[in-house]
Structure 1
Amino acid sequence: MAQYNNSPEWIPSKSESTVIVVGAGPSGLATAACLTQNSIPYVLLEREDCFASLWMKKSYDRLHLHLPKQYCELPLMKFPSTCPKYVPRKDFLEYLDNYVDHFHINPLYQRRVVGASFDQDSKKWHVRVENTAEGGHEEEYLGRFLVVATGETSDPFCPAIEGLSSFPGKVIHSTRYKSGKEFEDKSVLVLGAGNSGWEIALDLANHGAKTSIVVRSPVHILSRGTVNVGLFLLKYLPLSIADALMVLLSKITYGDR
């Protein structure tokens, strides 16, 4: 993995740039690459000690991109031809590492944003940051534009469920799940039917767990092939029509049960 000199002694307590990007996940890295390509100065702030921290630290072993690789490439760089159609976690992290190297992206790590405000007089954003690597002292960054690329699922959420505190078994969030090996021959209940829920349930079953899954609301089950059809339709049809056709195809294929 690429290593960067992120020592705070060369970073002033107040710094100004054209663009401030918050979050060094795939979206933040893509933004940084496009800014670099257009010679636009920017600063990239990341609260963790690495880029793509969800992929690095909080993803399970069998994780793959859920769409074909041509739909998941970041701007200005394709996946290597050697990558499989559905890119596994290890290959995706290698791709991101090469992306960071190629565009000379140098995030400022362990910078936790604590506030942001827009000054009408100067027409600039003022972003206050806590430098957790240096005892939490505060830094300020100024920029004409602010890009928030923190993602919508960056923090795990565990709902309060009656009786959960007295449950004698193991309870973990999907961000702490790695493999189904330790759950062989055990009864496991998966809550939620998003991408992670389905893939973890499959991984558990493949490792011999007695797996059940609970879904709060009705879901439409789509195979990889069906999803590819939907992506093709979106090239020519409005989202509402493509979505309706996909729901119909799902009912024809799997029934309405």
Structure 2
Amino acid sequence: MTQHADVVVVGGGQAGLAAGYYLRRQGLDFVILDAEPAPGGSWQHMWNSLHLFSPAEHSSLPGRLMAAQAGETYPDAGHVVEYLADYEKRYDLPVQHGTRVDAVRRVGESLLVETDTGTWRAKAVISATGTWSRPFLPAVPGRSTFAGRQLHTVNYRSPADFTDQRVVVVGGGNSGAQIAADLALDGQVEVTWVTQRPPRFLADDIDGRALFDVATARRRALEEGRDDTGGVASLGDIVAVPPVRAARDAGLLAAKPMFSRLTADGARWANGSHTGVDAVVWCTGFRPALSHLAPLNLRGARGHIPTDGTRTLGEPRLHLLGYGDWTGPASATLIGVGRPARDAVREIAQLTAR
């Protein structure tokens, strides 16, 4: 049996919930379909030591401030999961957990959303599936012949899994720096941190709130036709959260250049040097999880789906929310997703009213 709704939101993490908040305010009939069996989105899968970049009051979704976490300036991932679960309940958002969306198709004047539990027919769809379910692994020579353990950021949990091992952490972004710091500060792991270019740490007093302000200033400059300020990328790549700062200041985060290849038992650099390695943690980023949109044939020549804000140019009834700056400045963050969610829902309300 096919069910009907004005709007189907695909994904029940922070972006999907922000969309739900504004859909509720607009009085639209909607449903949020989430593959996760419980609330919290990807935050329930983060590594044990992960903390937000910002204090709780600067890490909130629209309508409800995140409460401070006792004893923590920067809340941990578990606190975020609790906040998202409470948010979902407080606003009585119709989230169907444990529902995987397989495909979105055009059917006449509607969009058909096919799931593993049934089908939905909608006037509009918001895709808010994020990137966590699609980790990226680079094609490094020797990766298939390395006999040690390989895992991505999504699989890392704690240094206890690597006691007395030699671990190479690959990646010069926040995840790479934080996981390298986590392992190095433990003292029971031999850590080598490698990056494509020398790591760029942001000033110690810059946190997520400041980064949001910088991203917002860039958006305004571009909208007003002024010069591109460069945004967050102009400041650096790594937020110096307390553990990263501690490891850096202790001399434990001296990055090496990227190795040229993996061998069966280690890594070899361009100068011929070789290091024995038991495990490699690939902190090499993610790609948008958009396979469910393949039937709409929206990708351009380079595989990118063109958008105007959140609205896809090839299908005006479809909005992409929370995938990064290309779908709204800072839209992949808790504090940043509110504005593009509001704008997307406003457009959808105008569309469905016609």
Structure 1 length-normalised TM: 0.77
Could you say which residue in structure 1 is the equivalent of 2:167?
Answer: 188
Counterpart of 2:190, as a letter, is K
Q: Secondary structure at the match of 1:163?
A: coil
Distance in 2 of aligned mates of 1:113 and 1:77:
28
Provide, for residues 77-112 of structure 1, a one-character-per-residue CA deviation record: whole Å limited to 9, x for no partner: 101145644211121111112111111223223322
Aligned to 1:71: 58
Q: Which runs of 5+ in 1 are unaligned?
A: 1-12, 132-138
For residues 210 and 96 of structure 2, what CA distance do their matches in structure 1 show? Answer: 40
| Corresponding position of 1:29 | 17
Residues 167 and 190 in structure 2, CA contact (< 8 A), matched pair in contact too: yes
Q: Would the alpha carbon gap of residues 106 and 246 (structure 1) be closer, same or farther in structure 2, given more than 3 Å must change?
A: same
Secondary structure at 2:83 match in 1? helix
TM-aligned CA deviation for residue 23 of structure 1: 0.4
Q: Map Cα deviations across residues 44-91 of structure 1 (whole Å, 9 max, x no partner).
A: 1112322334222x2100111123433321111101145644211121
**Gaps (5+ residues) in structure 2?**
223-227, 239-247, 249-254, 256-354
Taking the aligned partners of 1:160 and 1:230, their CA distance within structure 2 comes to 31
Q: Which residue of 1 aligns with 2:67?
A: 80
Counterpart-to-counterpart distance in 1, 2:16 and 2:212: 24
Residue pairs, 1:1-257, within 5 angstroms: 13-56=1-44, 58-82=45-69, 84-119=72-107, 121-122=108-109, 124-131=110-117, 139-208=118-187, 209-217=189-197, 219-227=199-207, 229-232=210-213, 238=221, 240-241=228-229, 243=231, 247=235
CA contact (8 A) 2:40 2:82 kept: no
Moved more, 165-174 or 143-152: 165-174
Q: Distance in 1 between matches of 2:171 and 2:233?
A: 25
Moved more, 61-70 or 173-182: 61-70
Which structure would you say has the larger RCO, counting Cα contacts within 8 Å and 6 or more residues apart? 2
Q: 1:241–1:168: structure 2 CA closer, same or farther, 3 Å change rule?
A: same
CA RMSD of aligned residues (A): 2.9
Counterpart Cα distance in 2 of 1:230 and 1:147 = 26
Matched pairs, number: 229
Residue 125 of structure 1 aligns with an amino acid whose one-letter code is L
Aligned 8 A contact 2:8 2:31 in 1: yes
Change (3 A) 1:163 1:233: closer
Equivalent-residue separation in structure 2 for 1:151 and 1:244 (angstroms): 20
CA distance 1:27–1:235, change in 2 (3 Å): closer
Compared with structure 1, are the counterparts of its residues 148 and 218 closer, same or farther at alpha carbon in structure 2 (3 Å cutoff)? farther
Deviation of 1:196 after TM superposition, in Å, equals 1.4
Counterpart amino acid of residue 83 in structure 2: Y
**What do the CA deviations read for 1:191-244 (whole angstroms, capped 9, x no partner)?**
112221111111001111221222224553214413455545556663732638
**Among the aligned pairs, what percent are the same residue?**
27
The change in CA–CA distance for 1:244 and 1:232 in structure 2 (over 3 A counts) is closer
Equivalent-residue separation in structure 2 for 1:141 and 1:48 (angstroms): 18
Tell me the distance in 1 between the aligned counterparts of 2:152 and 2:83. Answer: 27
Q: Structure 1 CA distance, aligned partners of 2:170 and 2:162?
A: 16
User: What is the identity, as a one-letter code, of the residue corresponding to 1:212?
Assistant: T
